[in-house]
Amino acid sequence: MADFFIQNNLGQDICVSFNGENGTRGCLFAQHGLSSNKEHNVIKVASNVFADNGYVAISFDSRYSFGQSYGELEGARLSSFYDDLKCVISWAKEQGYVKDNKISLLGHSMGGGSSVLYAYDNPSDVENLVLVSPLVSGLMWEKAASINMGEYFKKWKEEGKIFYKAYGREGYISYNVIEESKNYNALEMAPHLKANCMIIGAAEDAILPAKQCKILYDALDCKKDIKILEKCGHLYNRENNANDLAKILADFLKVN
């Protein structure tokens, strides 16, 4: 998988990775979560599984993340994630990678929220929608964080930003990312989604708890399935998480 750069309408770089050659079954767009990048375990597993099953798999570093794309972490918002997803899909269509509007979306965490927005706005374009510990609503995110993150959350909210370090990088996550996401509620969009939906949750996820995945699943009115991984947290980086995730995705593609 070679990395290369495209530019959005502001001239800002977005780093894209391409996996798979034939793409006879369609095109996957995989988007990571907040303060992450396209090398995240979930994204790499998804890209490989879809590519092995006849898809062109495109992943990318969202702006304002710990990847190679434009911007510092403090600027990350759900709206910027969604703008990036739309930009990459538009580029892929121009390049001829998307045929007959056969689009599959996979999003982890905030990338899940972005994927829901695209599937809702473009119901005839999206065949498959895979949401891995997705953002369900900003209000639900804030409530879970206030309960599960204790003093870390309290400091984040009071100071308006919090220091974060990962992937050998460091930066600040603005509390405005939560404030802006309060305008987003996947439960309101769920009854209108038309894609084949797979929701994957993590039983030990303290950031976006599995019970939120179950609430979203119940709100869907389409072909759907849900799997909850045991001994798994929000990052899906424990022993066997990758293998479990790969099996779920491969089984999903056998029937969709």
Q: Tens digit of pLDDT for each residue in 8-54?
A: 999 999 999 999 877 789 999 999 999 999 999 999 999 999 999 99
- Model confidence at 63, in pLDDT bands (50, 70, 90)? very high
How many angstroms separate the first and last alpha carbons of the chain? 25
Alpha helix (H) residue ranges in 96-205: 110-121, 138-148, 150-159, 176-181, 186-189
Fold classification of 3-136+187-255 (topology level): Rossmann fold (3.40.50)
* Alpha-carbon distances of 209 from 59, 225, 240, rounded to whole Å: 25, 17, 20
Q: What does the pLDDT average to over 190-202? A: 98
226 pLDDT above the threshold of 70: yes
**pLDDT for residue 21:** 75
Is the predicted pLDDT of residue 1 greater than 80, yes or no? no
> What is the average per-residue pLDDT within 135-139?
98
High-pLDDT (> 90) share of the chain, %: 95
Residue 109 is predicted with a pLDDT of 98
* Sign of the torsion angle spanned by Cα atoms 20, 21, 26, 27: positive
pLDDT at 24: 84
- 3-state class (DSSP) for residue 89: helix
SS3 content of the chain, % helix, strand, coil (to 5): 40, 25, 35
pLDDT of residue 74: 98
What is the model's pLDDT at position 173? 98
Give me 168's structure tokens: 């050998």
Instruction: Determine the Cα–Cα distance for residues 173 and 110; give it in Å rounded to an integer.
Output: 13
Residue-averaged pLDDT of the chain:
96
User: Domain segments of the chain: what residues?
Assistant: 3-136+187-255
Write out the two tokens for 57. 């798999």
